[in-house]
Amino acid sequence: MNYQKLSKEISYALRHAPHEYELELDEYGWVQIEQLLHSLHEQPVWRNVSQKDLQVMISQSDKKRFEMENGKMRALYGHSTAKKVLKEESEPPEFLYHGTPKRFVSLIMEQGLLPKGRQYVHLSEEIETAKQVGKRRDTHPAILKIEAKKAWSNKVTFYHGNEMVWLADKIDRQYISIL
Ligand code: HQG
């Protein structure tokens, strides 16, 4: 089984297109695993996918994109569906980082960081992770440093994605500097 391909398909289904897969996500983004498997089985390429495969996919992945609990599964970040998935508010570390193509920097330093196509702005706990995020679109990305704790103490809400990924609604430019 191609677990990377499976992960991409499920990322698409749970983050962007649950309706296409006839999935009902609850307000926290959870879907019944049975419903997900049933939907995947309609495609010949995934007709033999089992719950065990989903577990292997999650454990073999380089990133913690999903979690499973009590017969349900959800994507931890990345959503773009119209109805905003509720995330748990959390106190961020002193600094967070955001990797982005150099060509976006001047606009970001004017407008702040915006969610753009997704529901939340995505931030990284570590510089190296931010670099990897930025490298998806630029071989030498810019790394932005966010004064997260200061923003949080000024009532900017942060949410927990996973151990490496933090989410926010918007980050104003006053909290952003270029590393
Ligand atoms: C940029 C992947 C212009 C922002 C990654 C980013 C991540 C602005 C792009 C996760 C802007 C949106 C999310 C502004 C923000 N003007 N550009 N005011 N504000 N931007 O893909 O953070 O592998 O939606 O800098 O690893 O790149 O899929 O967000 O470049 O964790 O699991 O607008 O997706 O995870 O791009 O990536 P994205 P992102 P997975």
Using one digit for the tens of pLDDT, what is the confidence trace for 89-115? 999 999 999 999 999 999 999 999 999
Q: Which pLDDT value is given to residue 123?
A: 98
What digits encode the pLDDT tens for the residues 161-173?
999 999 999 999 9
Helices (H) and strands (E) in the chain, counts: 6, 9
Binding site membership of 100 for ligand 1 (Cβ less than 6 Å)? yes
148 near 140, Cβ under 8 Å? no
Q: From the CB of residue 5, how many other CB atoms can be counted at a distance below 10 Å? A: 12
* pLDDT at residue 37 in the model: 98
Which residue minimizes the CA distance to atom 22 of ligand 1? 122
Evaluate: CB of 110 within 6 angstroms of ligand 1: no
Q: What is the pLDDT of residue 161?
A: 97
Q: How far is the CA of 10 from the centre of ligand 1 (A)?
A: 19
- Let me know: does 78 contact 118? Beta carbons within 8 Å: yes
Residue 117: CB within 6 Å of ligand 1?
yes
- The per-residue pLDDT string of the chain (179 residues; one tens digit each, 9 = 90 and over) reads 999 999 999 999 999 999 999 999 999 999 999 999 999 999 999 999 999 999 999 999 999 999 999 999 999 999 999 999 999 999 999 999 999 999 999 999 999 999 999 999 999 999 999 999 999 999 999 999 999 999 999 999 999 999 999 999 999 999 999 99
Q: Is the ipTM of this complex over 0.90?
A: yes
- Distance CA(10)–CA(175), nearest Å, equals 34
Cα Rg of the chain, angstroms = 17
Stretch (H or E) spanning 97? strand 95-100
Round to whole Å and give the CA distance between 177 and 118.
Answer: 22
Q: Residue 63: what pLDDT?
A: 96
* 56, two tokens: 């292997």
The DSSP letter of residue 120 is S
